[in-house]
Amino acid sequence: MKKEKKVINFDEKDYVEAAGKRLRQARLALGFSQKDFCQILDVKTSIYSGWENGNYLIDPFIATKISIDFSIPMDFIYSGKKDNLPDKLRKYLFS
């Protein structure tokens, strides 16, 4: 008997907005202003703001940079998985 694949229904707009919210949470947990974080990431503030505000999804290259440089798992940014979060982010999210 074949196992049926589970189909996850989600609204793209809701997904992008949720990813933006998690990106903001990560930045705030790290203690950066948006301006300072943009300088570190070498991203225009207007573009980064669009990601945080859920206007469009964060660029995978920048998400990778955040993951490598700040130990913020890409799974958290893109899907909200809370496994392996750094203590600073975990405390920010759950305090």
Q: Is 11 helix (H, G, I), strand (E, B) or coil?
A: coil
Does residue 66 surpass a pLDDT of 90?
A: yes
Q: What is the arithmetic mean of pLDDT over 5-29?
A: 87
Could you give the CA distance from residue 66 to residue 25 in angstroms, rounded to a whole number? 13
Q: CB of 16 within 8 A of CB of 57?
A: yes
Q: What is the arithmetic mean of pLDDT over 38-47?
A: 97
Is residue 2 very low, low, confident or very high in pLDDT (cuts 50, 70, 90)?
Answer: low
pTM, rounded to two decimals: 0.85
Residues in contact with 81: Cβ distance below 8 Å, sequence separation at least 6, in sequence order:
73, 75
Residue 15: half-sphere exposure toward Cβ, Cα within 13 Å: 9
Does residue 9 surpass a pLDDT of 80?
A: no
Average pLDDT, the chain: 90
